[in-house]
A and B are shown apart, each in its own frame.
Chain A
Amino acid sequence: KAGVTQTPRYLIKTRGQQVTLSCSPISGHRSVSWYQQTPGQGLQFLFEYFSETQRNKGNFPGRFSGRQFSNSRSEMNVSTLELGDSALYLCASSSGTGEEQYFGPGTRLTVT
């Protein structure tokens, strides 16, 4: 089985711009979660989608949004980028039963 894929792997944006990141889960997985990883805050949960519905949400501002398509692929969008949004964004897929999640390689976002 192919693993979780994320595109792009690296991204450089300017403050005020918006960005869309993509995640393709493992075939058959219906749950996709997103995490932000920074040196200061560590790994933080953004949100989780299951069968195209947002099922859980972390404590991030409304500038962070996501969606999931019928094929379980997911996108997350960050609008009005701030310098503090520079981070590694990780996507994880799972069957949705609360057990193990499988992570992709991440998208490294740099905001200048």
Chain B
Amino acid sequence: AQSVTQLGSHVSVSEGALVLLRCNYSSSVPPYLFWYVQYPNQGLQLLLKYTTGATLVKGINGFEAEFKKSETSFHLTKPSAHMSDAAEYFCAVSEVNFGNEKLTFGTGTRLTIIP
């Protein structure tokens, strides 16, 4: 069974500071990994994904994440926070298997940006 742990349900950073949101996963098979963002009263928007290849992946809005197999981690970073980054962020994992669309999500991290 797969699982995702997001450390810190709430994270606050100052505008312009580094954003680091942590995600660790557990999977018995090589996973696909995703970060989604959710703004109030909206659905989920894909920020970035890791499937195969380069372990450092870049996404939208200046975010990036690094897949570290040895640490079973996929932490999300952004060098300089912007007020518009305030939202809830979800890390998710799925099995590398055609025909398996099931995403297992972490509990989410609410990011607050301090002006």
Using a CB–CB cutoff of 8 Å, the interface residues on chain A facing chain B are: 4, 31, 33, 35, 42-43, 45, 48, 50, 55-56, 58, 90, 92, 94, 96-106
Contacts and interface: CB of A to CB of B under 8 A. Distances in A.
Interface string B75-115: 00000000000000010101111111111111110000000
A94 B76 CA distance: 23
Given A55-B101, A90-B43, A98-B97, 15 more contacts: A4-B43, A33-B101, A42-B106, A42-B108, A45-B102, A48-B101, A50-B99, A96-B99, A98-B100, A99-B49, A103-B44, A105-B41, A105-B42, A105-B43, A106-B42
A55 B99 contact: yes
Nearest to B90: A43
Contacts of A90: 43-44
Interface of B: 32, 34, 36, 41-46, 49, 51, 90, 92, 94-108
Given A99-B32, A103-B45, A31 B90 contact: no
B96 A98 contact: yes
